[in-house]
Amino acid sequence: MTTAPDRPAGTRPRHLLYLLPVVLFVVVAVYFLVALYSSRDPQEVPSALVGKPAPGFTLAPLLPDLPGVARADLGGSVVLVNFFASWCVPCRAEHPYLGRIAKDGGLPIFGIVYKDKPDAARAYLAELGNPYARIGMDDSGRTGIDFGITGVPETFVLAPDGRICYRQWGPVTDDDTEQALLAKIKECRR
């Protein structure tokens, strides 16, 4: 006999159908595993402002010998804008990295004191040192909202054309994040 034993028509697809739940399970499981082990922080809100021009603002100086920050000071070269506050614990952890990033990245950091008492902010800088080239006070938090921040610290890399090129959400408190930020700064320079 040359012909293979015939199957009644239509049974083959039905057998495959039995595998469907298993396939579905695998798909869902992989999806969950990826989400579980990815480093994405669900608290992190994607910035709506990346690629857009920085918002307008003019902030009064915090220190007598250091100028404040305004929109007009941005542009021309790559600049880092760092929102911080003395009441913000992660900012304290991030602080030593800021000076290094300014040096290694070869760029000025403009600080914006977000909703803080001027005295407390001055004491904070006196204690930890001042990595900032300019510091402005955002008492009302309006500039923070205009930058779309959801908390402090947040750091923005501003391109030479005054656009927001990258937003660092949360503090830079490890070497990997620092290197990633430095790489972004390099990219924004182009």
Asked if 56 contacts 71 with a C-beta cutoff of 8 angstroms, the reply is yes
What is the smallest separation between the CB atom of 1 and another protein, expressed in angstroms?
10
Nearer to another protein, 21 or 42 (CB): 42
Taking the complex as a whole, the smallest distance from the CB of residue 132 to another protein amounts, in Å, to 23
Beta-sheet pairing, 134-138 with 69-70: unpaired
- Spatial separation of the C-alpha atoms in residues 102 and 79, rounded to whole Å: 9
Query: Minimum Å distance from CB 141 to another protein?
Result: 5
Measured from the CB atom, is 77 or 150 closer to another protein? 150
Give the residue with the Cβ less far from another protein, 2 or 38: 2
Which residues sit opposite 156 in a β-bridge?
81, 167
Query: 128: buried, middle or exposed (CB in 10 Å: 19+, 13-18, 0-12)?
Result: middle
CB of 171 to another protein, least distance (A): 16
d(CA 52, CA 34): 31
How many other C-beta atoms can be found within 10 angstroms of the C-beta atom of residue 34? 10
Structure tokens at 153: 């610290």
Q: Taking Cα atoms as reference points, which of 181, 182, 187, 139 lies closest to residue 163?
A: 187
Instruction: Return residues touching another protein (CB under 8 A).
Output: 3, 6, 9-10, 42-43, 45-49, 115, 140-142, 145-148, 150-151
Q: Nearest approach, Cβ of 67 to another protein (angstroms)?
A: 26
Give the containing element (helix H, strand E) for 32.
Answer: helix 20-37
Shortest Cβ distance from residue 45 to another protein (Å)? Answer: 5
